[in-house]
Structure 1
Amino acid sequence: MASPLGEKINSRRRDLGMSLEQLAALTESSKSYLWELENRDKPNPSLDKVTKIAMALGLSPESLLGSSSPDLAVEADKEFFRKYQDLDDKDKERLRKMVDDWWS
């Protein structure tokens, strides 16, 4: 029995007319790994894999995970802030400006 995550991946992939091979190439994954995500009961993908799969499917990681995995959404925020901390000061300022402009 597939998990909600697996069902979402499979459904979206099929809606896009995308094969497992195509998704595997876009996400730097193996076809068998993606098949397991789509078909196993308790997949345990890394946040990086969820993000790559979501982007390849034209979704946000949050929409792919849905409300069934709130802890992964929190982890996504933590990962974002880790990446933010690694930015140089000029890029941090550019990002802050984009956020400020967005909220204005």
Structure 2
Amino acid sequence: MHRVAETLRDRIKTLRKKAKLTLDQLAPQAGLSKSYLWELENRDLPRPSGEKLAGLAKALNVTVDYLLGGDPTENLETAEDKAFFREYEAMSPEARAQLRRLAKALDK
């Protein structure tokens, strides 16, 4: 059985590898430097700022709460769904309509 990541650094590394991203690829997506991201994954640093956590969560398609392990009822799938819905809400009405049509076609 797959071990659930317990710490922030474990969750970041696990999610990055699941997304098949290198540190070089994830860092700009999250608005972080590669060296800072490496330190987050490999050292016990104080908790990053909310802004840094938000950028990282967005780049990894999860919620900040999931990264921090703050909600024991939130699993990876739920966190991904919440992150997707957050992006969906920010889309134009036309893009949302197109995505709904695509979802209906995939469900058939």
TM > 0.5: yes
Letter in 2 for 1:52: G
Decide whether the 8 Å contact of 2:30 with 2:52 is kept in 1: yes
Q: Which has the higher contact order (CA 8 A, sep 6+)?
A: 1
Equivalence map 1:1-12=2 (5 Å)? 4-12=7-15
Identity %: 44
So what's the TM-score if we normalise by structure 2? 0.57
- Residue 53 in structure 1 maps to residue 56 in structure 2: yes
Structure 2 segments unaligned to the other structure (5+ residues): 1-5, 72-108
- CA shift at 1:28, angstroms? 1.8
Equivalence map 1:1-104=2 (5 Å)? 4-67=7-70
Measured in 2, the distance between the counterparts of 1:15 and 1:65 equals: 18
Per the alignment, residue 105 of structure 2 pairs with none
- Hey, which bits of structure 1, 4+ residues long, moved more than 2 A? none
Decide whether the 8 Å contact of 1:36 with 1:43 is kept in 2: no
Name the SS for the 1:67 alignment partner.
coil
Number of residue equivalences: 66
Measured in 2, the distance between the counterparts of 1:62 and 1:30 equals: 22
So what's the TM-score if we normalise by structure 1? 0.59
- CA shift at 1:67, angstroms? 2.7
Structure 1 segments unaligned to the other structure (5+ residues): 69-104
- CA shift at 1:29, angstroms? 1.1
Name the SS for the 2:40 alignment partner.
helix
Deviations 1:55-81 (A, max 9, x none): 10000111111139xxxxxxxxxxxxx
Measured in 2, the distance between the counterparts of 1:60 and 1:28 equals: 16
